[in-house]
Amino acid sequence: MKKAILFIMVLMLGILAACSSNENENTSKDTSEKEEGAFTIGVIPVQTEGEIEEAMTKLQGELSEKLDRDVEITTFPDYNGVVEAMNYDQIDMAYFGPLTYVIAHEKSGAKAIVTQLIDGEPFYHSYIITNTENEWETLEEYLENSEERSFAFGDPNSTSGSLIPSIELQDRDVFEDQDTNDFASVAYTGSHDATALSVQNKQVDAGAIDSAIYNQLLESGKIDGDKLKVIWESEKLFQYPWAVSKGTDEETIDQLQNAFLAIEDETILNAFGASGFTKASNEDYESIRSAADKQGLLTK
């Protein structure tokens, strides 16, 4: 009898041990699967309209294939939202403007790895544009009676739509901020295409815009080249970076860089006004970092 009881106890312990082993195995498997979840990417709202949705769907597919895991891309409603998402580890990668990138690098260690090429070059400019019906042909002429004229920036965190032109206007002693300036009015439209349309429709007298996006809007027919002209151009600016979160392993970085450099899909390229992609590094944005620091934008 005692031997039978002892046998049953040993058998039950064996069953419990096996169940525990299976449970641990399943738990380990679930954790592993969680860690290998979707690779998430946040994108700034460069434009409020266009073929961006179709392009992001195609980009998701290409990156998913190259990374051999699901990729999810989300376009955020404003520039700062992407910075905060990276800061709070809600995304693995982001498409930033140069200014938002240097802010994200300071706040969370974001690391630039890729940027787009425009006509084979990784550069663009900040433009100030006006309606062709206006008599002024240069920024100097436009500013002669600045108190009678309105001006539009894009998003407050945009490099070409805000940072660079605001420094230029400050250096000309006509602008300090939205409340302190020599203009009849100053507005922030929130995006480059909104600025272009505001100038085209004569809702504002002049506005700041990304040169690559301006040309892209012209080529797509979304704005009318007969109604707009450029009256100021900045020095070269390094293009918008794709940056990964701090601690991203080198294998993943290599996979991402190779995936972007191999992109030939016209829908994806056209969404960014790009002719291709190339590698980028944190050092490429030193001039933007200096400009942001001058404006006190990197103070914690």
For tokens 């106890």, the residue is 9
So what's the pLDDT on residue 36? Answer: 59
So what's the pLDDT on residue 14? Answer: 47
What is the chain's pLDDT, residue by residue, as a tens digit (300 residues)?
A: 444 444 444 444 444 444 444 444 443 333 233 345 899 999 988 765 455 788 999 999 999 999 999 999 999 988 999 999 999 999 999 999 999 999 999 999 999 999 999 989 999 999 999 999 999 999 999 999 999 999 999 999 999 999 999 999 999 999 999 999 999 999 999 999 999 999 999 999 999 999 999 998 999 899 999 999 999 999 999 999 999 999 999 999 999 999 999 999 999 998 888 999 999 999 999 999 999 998 999 875
So what's the pLDDT on residue 258? Answer: 97
Q: Long-range CB contacts (< 8 A, 24+ apart) of 73-76?
A: 73/40, 73/41, 73/42, 73/43, 74/40, 74/41, 74/42, 74/43, 75/42, 75/43, 75/44, 75/45, 76/42, 76/43, 76/44, 76/45
Q: Walk me through the domains of the chain, giving residue ranges and CATH numbers.
A: 38-119+239-294 (3.40.190.10), 126-234 (3.40.190.10)
For tokens 């605001």, the residue is 166
φ and ψ at 234, to 5 degrees?
A: -80, 175
Provide the angle, in degrees to the nearest 10, between the axes of the packed helices 98-108 and 79-87: 20
Burial 154-164 (b: 16+ CB within 10 A, else e): bbbbbbbbbbb
So what's the pLDDT on residue 195? Answer: 97
So what's the pLDDT on residue 108? Answer: 95
